[in-house]
Structure 1
C-alpha cells in the first residue's frame, strides 16, 4: 500500500475518531452535568463546585471513551470503504489484510500510548482532586447550597438541613431546621433566620433567634437552650477523603501487594491493551458481504465492546475479592474477547446473505 493511501486512510480515520470522541464525550458530560445539578439542587454539594467536579470527571470519561471511539471510527471507515467498493478495488490491486493492519498500526499505537499515559498519570491525579473537592463540598455547610422547601443532606449525610424559604436579604434563609446526627447526643437547631458571614477566621453560618436541643427527649441530660445568635463554622478544619484505589498514584500501586491495588493496576494496564485488541478485531469484523447492511458490523462491534468491558469489570472485581490470582491479571479477558470475535466473524461470513 502506497504512502498516499496510508495518509488518506490515516486522515479519514482521524476525522471519524475526532467526531465520535467529541459527540460521545459531550453526551456523557451532559449526563454527568445533569447529575451534579440535581445534587446541587438537593443541597448535597454547593452549586459553585459543579463545574469543578465536571472538569475533573471529564478526564476519566475521555480516557474511557478513547478505545471505544477508535473502534467505532475503524468500523465506520472500513464499512464506508466496503460500501463504496473502495476496499474491493484495493483488494483487486493486491492489498491484503496485513496491509490494512500496517495502515492502522500507527494510529492504534498512538491512541494506546495516550491511554496508557493518561491512565497511569493524569486520571489518578484528577480522581484524587475530585474526591477531595467532593469531600470538602459535602462537609461544607453553605447557605448557597441549600434548596428551600427540601431536606438537604450535608457533611456526608450527618447533617439534615431544612430551610422554609429564602430571606429578603441576599443569601439569607428563613425558617431553619438543622439535625446533627451524633451517636451519643443528637443535636437539633431551630432558628428564624440564617445568613453567611465572613471574618478573618473564616466563614460562618449565623443563625438568629432560635433554640438548640441537645440529647434525646425524656432523658435526664436533655437540654433546651435559647439563643439570639449561633455561629457554625463553614470551613471544615479536617476533610475526610475516601480511600479510593483509582486515585492512588501508579508507583504506589506497584509497591502495594493488596488485592485491591493489584486489581486497579491490572485495569490500568488493560485499558491501553484494549485499544490494540479492538483495532485488531475491527479489520475482519468490518468485512461483510454486499447484500448485508453496512451497519451490521457496527452493531456487532458495539455488542462486542459491551461484552469486553463488562468482562474487564468482572475480572477487576474478582481480583479485588481474591477470587483470581493477581499474577493472571486481566489478560484472560483479552484472550476471551479475541476468541469470541473470531467466532462472530466466522458466523457472520458463514451465514450472512
Structure 2
C-alpha cells in the first residue's frame, strides 16, 4: 500500500508540475520569440538563429520555472485531494501527516534531482553553446542578412540584391547606397554591380572583404563639380569584424570550475545554482502545510498567502544574490540565511498543520485538573 500511495501522490503532483512548467515555459518563449523576431526584422539576426538561440536558453528558463511549478502543482494536487475528501480517507486508513510529509519530500527529491541535473550541468552547457552561437552570429556581416528582392536599411544607407547564387554564394545585381565622411562633410555614394561575394583573408587576421564585379561607383552630390563616376572590373571593400572574446561568464562555466574558482562572481553563481535545488524541499513542506483546506472553503482558499510566501522567498534570494555580487552581504553568509529563515517558517507551518500546538493546549487543562485532585 505504501508504494502504491506514493505512486499515486507522485503521479498527481508530477503530472501537474509538467503541465504548469510547459505553460509557463510557453509564456516565456512567446515573449522572447517576439523580441527576437523584431531583431530578425531589423536584420540583426537570421531567422534560423532565432530557433537555435531559443533552444539553447530553454534549460535556463526551466531551472527558474521548475521550483515555482512544483510548488503550485503541490498546492493544486493536494488541495483537490482535500476537497474531494481523499485525504480524509487516507488519514482514516492510518496514514499520518508525518508519513504524508515523507511522501511529499520523496516527490520533492525527484524534482530536486531533475533540477540539480539542469542547474549543475545542462543549463551551463546550453548557455555556453548559446554564447558560442551568438559570437558566430556577430561575425556575420549585414550582407548575410539580406533578403533577395527587398531593400534593406533606411535613408541613404540602403542595400538591394536581386538574387543569390546558391552554389557560388554570389549576390547578383547588387545596389549599395552609403555615406562616407570627408573633410567637406558627408558624401553620398552609390554602387551598382553585376554580382558580389564575401571573401575572408586569413593572412590579414581573418579580415572580411566584399568584392564587387563589373560595376559602376558614383561618389558626390549630383549637380556639383566634385562628382565622380568610376567603372570597375573588381572593387573590394574591407568590412568591419568583431573580435571574438573568451566565454567566461559565470553562468556559462561548469559547476566544477565554479567550485575550484576563488572569484566572487563564480562563488555567487555556485550558491545560486545550489539555492535553486535547496528551495524545492523547503517549498514542499510549506506547500504541504498550506494545502489543507476545508471543502466549504474551496481549493483556492490558501493559494494567495502561499503564493505570496513563495514570491517573498524568491524575491529575497534575488535580492541576496544582488547583495553578494555588490559585496554588501558577506560571501560566508551567502544565501544560506534566507534558506534557514524559510526552513523555520516551514517548520512552524508544519507544526501547525500537524496540530502540535493544539495538542499541547489540550494537555495543559488535564494536567491542572490532576494537580487539583491530588491536593
Q: Which residue of 2 aligns with 1:299?
A: 304
Pick from 161, 168, 185: which aligns with 1:167? 161
Distance 1:146 1:7, change over 3 A: same
- Name the SS for the 1:292 alignment partner: coil
Show structure 1 runs of 5+ residues with no match.
153-159, 181-186, 214-223
Cα gap change, 1:267 to 1:169, in 2 (>3 Å): same
Which of 308, 311, 322 is the equivalent residue of 2:313? 308
Tell me, in whole angstroms, the C-alpha distance in 2 between the residues paired with 1:86 and 1:308: 30
Contact 1:116-1:272 at 8 Å conserved across structures: yes
* Deviation, structure 1 residue 81: 0.5
Partner of 1:129: 129
> CA 1:188/1:3 → structure 2, altered by over 3 Å: closer, same or farther?
farther
Give the Cα separation in 2 of the matches to 1:295 and 1:210.
Answer: 72
* 1:263-283 Cα distance to aligned partner (Å, 9 max, x none): 111101101101111111110
Task: State the Cα RMSD in Å.
Answer: 3.7
Q: How far apart, in 2, do the equivalents of 1:161 and 1:248 lie?
A: 44
Residue 145 of structure 2 corresponds to 145
Determine if the alignment matches structure 1 residue 112 to structure 2 residue 112. Answer: yes
Alignment of structure 1 residues 307-346 onto 2, 5 Å: 307-339=312-344
TM-aligned CA distance change 1:119 to 1:211, over 3 Å: farther
1:56 corresponding residue in structure 2: 56
Partners of 1:143 and 1:205 within 8 A in 2: no
Cα deviation per residue 1:97-152 (whole Å; 9 max; x = unaligned)?
A: 21211222222112112212221122111111212221331342132425877759
Residues 72-104 of structure 1: CA deviation (Å, up to 9, x unaligned): 111110110111111122223333321211222
Does the residue aligned with 1:284 lie in a helix, a strand or coil? Answer: helix
- Seen in structure 2, the aligned counterparts of structure 1 residues 189 and 14 have a Cα distance that, compared at 3 Å, is farther
In 2: Cα distance, 1:227 partner to 1:341 partner: 80
Match of 1:75 in 2: 75
The aligned counterpart of 2:31 is 31
- Go from structure 1 to structure 2 and tell me whether the alpha carbon gap of 1:104 and 1:343 turns closer, same or farther (over 3 Å shift): closer
Aligned-partner SS, 1:169:
strand
**How far, CA to CA, are the matches of 2:16 and 2:311 in structure 1?**
20
- The alpha-carbon distance between structure 1 residues 336 and 206, as it changes in their structure 2 partners (threshold 3 A), is farther
Deviation at 1:330, TM superposition (A): 0.8
Residue aligned with 1:296, SS = coil
Q: Residue 161 of structure 1 contacts residue 176 of structure 1 at CA under 8 Å; is this kept in 2?
A: yes
Change (3 A) 1:338 1:16: same
TM score, norm. by length of structure 1: 0.77
Q: In 2, Cα distance between the equivalents of 1:227 and 1:296?
A: 80
Partner of 1:192: 191
Is the 8 Å Cα contact of residues 198 and 211 (structure 2) preserved in structure 1?
no
Alignment CA distance shift 1:178-1:243 (3 Å):
farther
Compute the displacement of 1:50 (Å): 0.9
When structure 1 is superposed on structure 2, of 48-57 and 6-15 the one drifting more is 6-15
Structure 2 CA distance for aligned equivalents of residues 339 and 189 of structure 1: 70
Indicate if the aligned counterparts of 2:128 and 2:247 stay in contact, CA closer than 8 A. Answer: no
User: Which stretch of structure 1 is more off in the superposition, 89-98 or 120-129?
Assistant: 89-98
CA drift at 1:320? 1.2
Q: Once the 2 structures are TM-superposed, how far is the Cα of residue 18 of structure 1 from its aligned partner?
A: 1.6
- Structure 1 residues 238 and 342, CA gap change in structure 2 (3 angstroms): same
Instruction: Show the counterpart of 1:218.
Output: none
Q: Would you say how many aligned residue pairs link Structure 1 and Structure 2?
A: 324
Deviation at 1:44, TM superposition (A): 2.5
CA distance in 2, matches of 1:50, 1:199: 25
Local SS of the residue matching 1:230: strand
Q: Which moved more, 1:38-47 or 1:280-289?
A: 38-47
Gaps of 5+ in 2: 165-170, 203-207, 221-227, 356-375
Shift of 1:179: 7.8
Partner of 2:91: 91
Q: Give, in angstroms, the shift of residue 48 of structure 1.
A: 2.8
CA separation of 1:5 and 1:244: change in aligned 2, threshold 3 A? same
